[in-house]
A and B are shown apart, each in its own frame.
Chain A
Amino acid sequence: MRRSEWKARWLSAGLAGVLAASAVITSSALHSSRQERTRQELMYFPSGVGLRSLGLGQSLTLADFLWLRAIQYYGEHRLTDNRFPLAGHIFETITQLDPHFAEAYLFGGLVLAAEGGDLKRALALLRRGMAWNPGRWDLAFETGFVYYVAAKDDAQAARFFERACRLPGAPALATRFAAHLRARTGDNETALALWEELLRSTTHPALRDLAARKISSIREAMGSARRQPGRP
């Protein structure tokens, strides 16, 4: 082989080496920029964690198929025995495959709390949903709703309605619910602040009228409480 051909071969090999190093460096940088995931054994198959690894990068598509299957599961049992023993596992799997699938947390939380009779699992699912999707007002609102309707815990419900009303896109309903429940739990100061905030932010005449009346009645209640210092 001629000297120039050897030189060309060595240059090509060197170039391949440099490019390989570049590929390795960029891959390493991509890996370190990934979110840290909890390392779990694949023995949890077929949980969402196991399926995610086996899904060859198609975890969102798997979540879609499981979502369609979940709807069928709910519909079938709704029309027959009204029992949903696998609902918790199904919705946990869907949200493990796609943690940003907010509608799965919403539907799953409602099914578990209202029809599955598994309040603890419903709240755990919704809390995880809020952790992964902190900007979604509807997740906080539904958590408040579940506390109010299913757990009968006004204080916790008020807390989550308040959280919802401070998130972008939240309707006035969230503020109303939060203010109403704060007053019910005796927290008139927070209730007053929330109604005043609603009065400032809304242009809806009926809501403004309601807020004004509520502000007036709370101030009256707080005034009469101050005039009777002996009372707790």
Chain B
Amino acid sequence: MKHVLAIANHIFREALRAQVLYVLGASGLAITGGAVLLAPIALGQVKRIVIDLGLMAMSLVGLLLLALLGTHLVARDIERRTIEVLLAKPIRRAEYIMGNYLGLVMALALFVAANTAFLSLAVFLATGEVDLRPLFGGAMVLLELSTLAAIVLLYSSFSGPLVAAFLIAATYVAGHLVGDLHDLAVAAKAPAFAWASYALPNLASFDVRPEVVHGFAVDPGRVLLAVAHGASYAACALTLAVLVFERRELR
């Protein structure tokens, strides 16, 4: 466990030193801040627009962070040959993958926390109201990004950064269309494809923007189901990543 935490700590510090975290983090803040400026033309809907754009920016910018930061973690260590030093310590390959995952999630948590705090501030500046619902939205975005982080590491365990980035973007798109893909498969009487759609991560289940924007009551059962789905999918992806990485030649 101490190896995992040490690697996680190292990855987190590396992420803090990376320019891309600050550039993308600032873009997320800019999108949220820009939404506040739409107040004069929003006809009283500025709160809705600020919360919605803020959560959308968090999700999309978080995906960009994964594509630019997460996909390079393993590849960079292989390229610099630092991975040979690490594995000779000895650090098991499974610990290496878990440490990378934990460090990546810590960086994402920092990004989401900063954006969520700014979002709450933006809502206050736009409306004068203190609203804690964006915190719930931010938590679900972090859950979505944590699931995607595990998938990024799976892709990185067998491919380079460019391929992994492309694959995670495709997974993000497909994950948000799971419901529609399933419906199309059923309408086309293709049960195999309908079942195959369940193999995709159901990223739409983490979307709580209707509840946050409209103030609807949150269904705790649905949230628990989404958490269980995200946790099992991430755990499965990490287990497969370890399996693949165990067999990978590093020279």
Is A31 at the interface (CB under 8 A from chain B)?
A: yes
* CB of A230 within 8 Å of the partner chain: no
Cβ-based interface call for B134 (8 A): no
Q: Is B201 touching A23 in the complex (CB atoms < 8 A)?
A: yes
Given contacts A12-B242, A61-B52, contact A107 B232 (CB under 8 A): no
B41–A72 touching, CB < 8 Å = yes
A220 at the interface (CB under 8 A from B): no
Do the beta carbons of A64 and B183 come within 8 Å of each other?
Answer: no
**In the bound complex, what is the Cα–Cα distance between A78 and B218 (angstroms)?**
40
The reply to whether the CB of A58 lies closer than 8 angstroms to some CB of chain B is yes
A72–B38 Cα gap in the complex (Å)?
A: 12
Which B residues are CB-close (under 8 A) to A53?
A: 177, 180
Q: Does B182 reach chain A (CB closer than 8 Å)?
A: yes
Cα–Cα distance between A28 and B225 once the two chains are bound (Å): 10
Is B125 an interface residue when CB atoms closer than 8 A count as contact?
Answer: no
Q: Kindly state the interface size class of chain A when it binds its partner.
A: 35 or more
- CB-CB contacts below 8 Å: B220-251 with A: 222, 225-226, 228-229, 232-233, 235-236, 239-240, 242-243, 246
A24 to B233, CA, bound (A): 8
Instruction: Determine whether A37 belongs to the interface, using a CB cutoff of 8 Å to chain B.
Output: yes
CA of A112 to CA of B210, assembled, Å: 26
CB-CB nearest in chain A for B184: A39
| Selected contact of A15 from candidates B42, B179, B228, B239, CB within 8 Å | B239
CA distance A61 to B212 in the complex (A): 13
Looking at the assembled complex, report how far the CB atom of B59 sits from the nearest CB atom of chain A, in whole angstroms.
8
The answer, yes or no, to whether A19 is at the interface (CB within 8 Å) is yes
User: Which of B5-13, B19-27, B43-51, B104-112 has 4 or more CB atoms under 8 Å from chain A?
Assistant: B43-51
Cβ-defined partner of B213 (8 Å) among A16, A27, A34, A60: A60
Note all chain A residues with C-beta closer than 8 A to B172.
56
Is the beta-carbon distance between A60 and B236 smaller than 8 angstroms? no
In chain B, residues 171-204, which have Cβ atoms closer than 8 Å to a Cβ of chain A? Answer: 172-173, 176-180, 182-183, 187, 198-204
Q: Which of chain A's residues 129-178 have a Cβ closer than 8 Å to chain B? A: none
Set A12, A27, A64: member contacting B53, Cβ < 8 A: A64
Given A19-B232, A23-B229, A107-B43, A31:B202 Cβ within 8 A: yes
Query: Given contacts A37-B183, A100-B214, A103-B44, is CB(A20)–CB(B236) below 8 Å?
Result: yes
The 0/1 profile, CB within 8 Å of B marked 1, for residues 29-46 of chain A is: 111011001010000000
- Most B-side CB within 10 Å, residue of A20, A22, A27, A56: A27
Q: Is the CB of A64 within 8 A of B43?
A: no
What are 21 sample pairs from A and B whose C-beta atoms fall under 8 A apart?
A12-B239, A12-B243, A16-B240, A19-B232, A19-B236, A22-B228, A23-B201, A23-B236, A27-B198, A28-B198, A31-B202, A33-B222, A33-B225, A57-B204, A60-B52, A64-B45, A68-B41, A71-B41, A71-B42, A100-B214, A100-B216
The 10 closest A-B pairs by CB, nearest first: A57-B176, A19-B236, A26-B229, A22-B232, A16-B239, A23-B233, A23-B232, A27-B202, A24-B198, A27-B198
Chain A interface (Cβ < 8 Å from any Cβ of B): 9, 12-13, 15-16, 19-20, 22-24, 26-31, 33-34, 37, 39, 53, 56-58, 60-61, 64, 67-68, 71-72, 98, 100-101, 103, 107
